[in-house]
Structure 1
Amino acid sequence: MTIHKEGYTTIALTVLFIFILNAFIDYKFGDLAVLRWIFYVLTFALFVIVLQFFRNPKREFNRNDAAVISPADGKVVVIEETEEGEYFKDKRLQVSIFMSPINVHINRYPVSGTVKFFKYHPGKYLAAWNPKSSTENERTTTVVETANGTPVLFRQIAGALARRIVWYVKEDDKATQTQEFGFIKFGSRVDLFFPIGTKVKVELGQVVKGGITEIADLV
């Protein structure tokens, strides 16, 4: 397992914070060994939490041009018909994946093709399970058109803890299924939108793996 490049600065700042805090505790409470060890344990736990958040585990990816592969680790929290008002402007089948702080937060292309649309939206930081987060939170919208002409829209959505969405996408890019297209820090959600009638291959509450789990068949 390696550490994702998006974590280098955060990890360095965390180490600096821990060093300063522990130095202050040693100076202020040098004669209270129990208190000092409590702080040592707590700051070590903080370091481990931040480190695991940015982990980049090695995986054998599942590429299948006839399927949409999960763009993220997490749990399926929404499978429903809804109005998609930004790009398609019609009714679509939405599948949402909630990424908790303990999940790997790398985002991967769910399909191969050409990026036909991309837009970043600044916004709020409502809890990721709030229905309004899809339209009011900080987010990005990406549409990839596959080789057979099927457009697949997916959306990175910041959560209550997330304060930065990272993307490596621009229009006319060539997208390769399972390759990284972005990262969301500290809790978030990814939505996918399919044509009505698409065969979904996951269930509500199911845990999925980015780059591995098949979400739906391509129409």
Structure 2
Amino acid sequence: MNMIGTFVKPMHPEGRRFVAIFLVIALALFLMSDFLGWVGLGLTVWCYYFFRDPKRTTPVDSNLFISPADGVVSLIGRAVPPAELGMDGTELTRVSVFMNVFNCHVNRSPIAGTVRKVAYRPGKFFNASLDKASSDNERNSLCIEMQDGRQIAVVQIAGLVARRIVCFVRDDARLEAGERFGLIRFGSRVDVYLPEGVKPLVSVGQTMVAGETVLADMSYDGPARTGRTG
């Protein structure tokens, strides 16, 4: 059972119709050619894998910020949260996690809090790993207020392939750390804007696991982390 669970993961309901479409196309391709049919079947398996929604074990500590996405840290730097959230316009430390088409694309809340605003903005579809994707691409932004009243921003950004951002929550929703709040279809990025004074405990190039990898710790007062690739 454990071996099966290693390879077969639950699929998010958002993926059911896409898998069904891929499967119908694969069956049609089999009528034309066995080779094309097997290619179609392989793509169907990939589609199922893309929409996988595995269980995650989230550290229980109100000081911790947890990665909202699977993928790789592509950018860390100072930036102003999206204007449509109506935050005060102060530059905050932004950590960007880039998801390729093989990563799990279910997004999870980095910390417990109340969603004060959800704001969608249409835009372009540049490669999500680029810095300009934060300002130019289609995005869906959340302002989450923590228990102490401080606010953070979490931004779902569509990428070169992605064309649909899905958000499961609305204004005034309560989220727990690691709780699912949305997904992005087929390649994208999630930005987290940390509160002033909170330093990231990750470095550019680091692999992240949504709902599990610690992004930052409000009780940590040391220097920002650096990484070494080897």
Q: State TM-score, norm by structure 1.
A: 0.90
Match of 1:55 in 2: 52
- Asked if 1:142 is matched to 2:142, the reply is yes
Partner of 1:112: 112
**Which residue in 2 is equivalent to 1:90?**
90
Greater strand share, 1 or 2? 1
Pair 1:74 & 2:71 matched: yes
Matches within 5 A, 1:172-183: 172-183=172-183
Q: Is the 8 A contact 1:74 1:99 kept in 2?
A: yes
Is the contact between residue 30 and residue 38 of structure 2 (CA under 8 Å) also seen in structure 1? Answer: no
Matched with 2:6 is none
Cα distance in 2 for partners of 1:6, 1:105 equals 11
Return the alpha-carbon distance in structure 2 between the equivalents of residues 61 and 197 of structure 1. 23
Amino acid at match of 1:171: D
CA–CA distance in 1 between the matches of 2:82 and 2:137? 15
Secondary structure at the aligned position of 1:135 is classed as helix
- Identify the residue that residue 5 of structure 1 maps to in structure 2: 13
Say whether the 8 Å CA contact 1:70–1:213 is kept in structure 2: yes
3-state DSSP class of the match of 1:183? Answer: strand
* Cα-to-partner distance string for 1:159-202 (whole Å, 9 max, x where unaligned): 01111100012111111111110011100000011234312111
Alpha-carbon distance between aligned partners in 2 of 1:128 and 1:88, rounded to the nearest angstrom:
25
CA distance in structure 2 between the partners assigned to 1:63 and 1:102 by the alignment: 28
Q: State the distance in 1 between where 2:13 and 2:34 align.
A: 31
2:80 alignment partner, SS class: strand
Q: Corresponding residue for 1:21?
A: 29
Q: d(CA) in 2 for partners of 1:145 and 1:218?
A: 15
- TM-score using structure 2 length: 0.86
Structure 2, unmatched stretches of 5+, are 1-8, 220-230
- 1:191 pairs with 2:187: no
Residues 117 and 144 in structure 1, CA contact (< 8 A), matched pair in contact too: yes
Partner amino acid, structure 2, of 1:39 = L
Is the counterpart of residue 46 in structure 1 residue 43 in structure 2?
yes
Unaligned 5+ runs, structure 1: 26-35
> Which consecutive segments of 4 or more residues in structure 1 shift more than 4 A?
none
Aligned length: 208
Which has the higher mean CA deviation after the structures are superposed, 130-139 or 151-160? 130-139
Cα pair 2:58 2:177 within 8 Å, conserved: no
Residues 143 and 85 of structure 1: CA distance in aligned 2, closer, same or farther (over 3 Å): closer
The alpha-carbon deviation at position 85 of structure 1 amounts to 4.9
Secondary structure of residue in 2 paired with 1:84: coil
Report which of the two structures shows the higher radius of gyration computed on alpha carbons: 1
Q: How far apart are residue 21 of structure 1 and its match?
A: 2.4
**Alpha-carbon contact 1:63-1:178 (below 8 Å) kept:** no
Q: Quick one: structure 1 residues 180 and 214, their matched pair in 2 at CA, closer, same or farther if it must change by over 3 Å?
A: same
Identity of aligned residues (%): 36
